[in-house]
A and B are shown apart, each in its own frame.
Chain A
């Protein structure tokens, strides 16, 4: 699904969270949004998911204004997931992942059918969380939980996948595995994936397109090698860095704190 964002603005009270964002996001690509805390990454993802109402501008999904979609339709197309979930009354992992199938149920199908279980079964095998299905959500580690959240996001079989900080709690092995899987899935099913990331190295490896944000605006947009430059990072993050290319376009940004002499 092609996403076209046109002059999008969003205000929280009087604070500008997003300031005239214009962006094209293509299907079959992994688009990463990077930027310092408070740059507007989450606001942009939530606006695409129609969880936040923009103050101005519009978002087109396959040429149709997202305001014209019914919430139930959008729920089938778009998956949005955060890095953390509430676990105050924990359910079983399987029950949680199955909630992602609710948009496909109608009043008569109150419980999950064979198709729902099949999809969940496949997704869980792919993300290696099958052995966790019988546990309660408070009985898994934060890394396992993160994979479970991504499994729930994919269990919708979405056309648009929006992930907010999916790698925050993962160890290095699963960082690669999970993002690798998301990338493969994006190519295979030709879906539109947008990920908010903090890790610049992962960004350079797994993203086709990088959007660098700061203060609610897009500062730079393009391929990882175009965007991830010493200068751009210094301007946006306020940190002196040296980017080192480690092959295949992958980049490591080494910070050089200026006050350490």
Chain B
């Protein structure tokens, strides 16, 4: 029985991977063809394969490819952050946005821009500042939640308090930034890939790859499997919880900080992707849900990015932020999870 189930699990994992990668490839092609300038799919195909490419088409495609790839990487990063966050919080509603990490990261960024505008040009420094902000948010929410008795409700409510305070603060600060800098930094509030630069692909790829490698090499997925059961259960398996949980919190903060620094706050991806991956896989074994979540997250953000551009085409009103789309889809999903969780 154990053998059969184990095999089935692995088979389900690989088939999920194949299906997701197929969908992701499809969404990439759609993403580069959708926008204010319509490019027929056959021209997209011809250009990608190098058969025939006019310079106009190439320019548009390059721009769209950059933002599509940034969307893909940001989605992967947020989903990975989400799945780890839910594990260390032992709470299926935990997510970097809900627990306040995104808002504190953005507040740190706005402060940094006000202090020295040039910080924007140094992407690694910019990401580092956002990371410190996110880490601050993590500890602030954890401390508040611990003071309130460490129940699953106290964690979420602390997160809401931290998010509310710091999204207000970051709004105010970004208004000040707008006076100094003629750049639509309000986009950071709701997330957007329209401001992404070519080099951001490298920064995000490096960050996401490093975080995934660290996560797997340090055995964080296994730790989370054991940790979900209980502190003492994980410790009797030989895990040093203080070190590993702190490391996991760092990984979450790095991933959140990196995405906030580049695309701004994109909500609910870290919530939805882990749930969808658990549904697909039928288990919450973090060794497989972490990687599947990251692909689901990529897919979700690429689709949301397509959605935000479709909205632009349909309403003829200019660019819609990405976060608008993820919020409109993500919030009902959160409501669904609350209802299902409440019924149990």
Contacts and interface: CB of A to CB of B under 8 A. Distances in A.
B1 A133 contact: yes
Contacts of A72: 238
B115 interface: no
Contacts of B91: 88-89
Interface string A106-133: 0100111000010011001000001001
B237 A82 contact: no
A123 to B, nearest CB: 9
A138 B341 CA distance: 12
A88 B230 CA distance: 10
Interface in B34-90: 86-87, 90
Interface string B1-28: 1110110011000000000000000000
B263 to A, nearest CB: 27
A94 B5 contact: yes
A95 B285 contact: yes
A102 B344 contact: no
A51 B238 contact: no
B237 A100 contact: yes
Interface string B224-254: 0110111011011111100000000000000
Main secondary structure of the interface of A (DSSP, over half): mixed
A117 B233 contact: no
B13 to A, nearest CB: 10
A103 B2 contact: no
A169 interface: no
Contacts of B225: 91, 95-96, 99, 102
Nearest to B341: A88
With most chain A CB atoms within 10 A of its CB, the pick from B226, B229, B285, B287 is: B229
A91 B285 contact: yes
B240 A121 contact: no
B284 interface: yes
Interface in B200-242: 216-217, 219, 222, 225-226, 228-230, 232-233, 235-240
A74 interface: yes
A250 to B, nearest CB: 32
A96 B152 CA distance: 21
Interface residues of A, number: 40
Contacts of A46: 232
A90 interface: yes
A96 B90 CA distance: 15
A222 interface: no
A69 B285 CA distance: 29
A117 B2 contact: yes
Contacts of B239: 71
With most chain A CB atoms within 10 A of its CB, the pick from B5, B219, B222, B235 is: B5
B330 interface: no
Interface string A41-65: 0000010010100000000000000
A92 interface: yes
Interface of B: 1-3, 5-6, 9-10, 86-87, 90-92, 152, 216-217, 219, 222, 225-226, 228-230, 232-233, 235-240, 278, 282-285, 287, 344
23 contacts: A46-B232, A71-B240, A75-B237, A75-B238, A76-B238, A79-B236, A88-B90, A88-B228, A91-B228, A91-B283, A91-B285, A92-B285, A95-B9, A96-B225, A99-B222, A99-B225, A102-B238, A110-B287, A111-B10, A121-B1, A121-B3, A130-B2, A133-B1
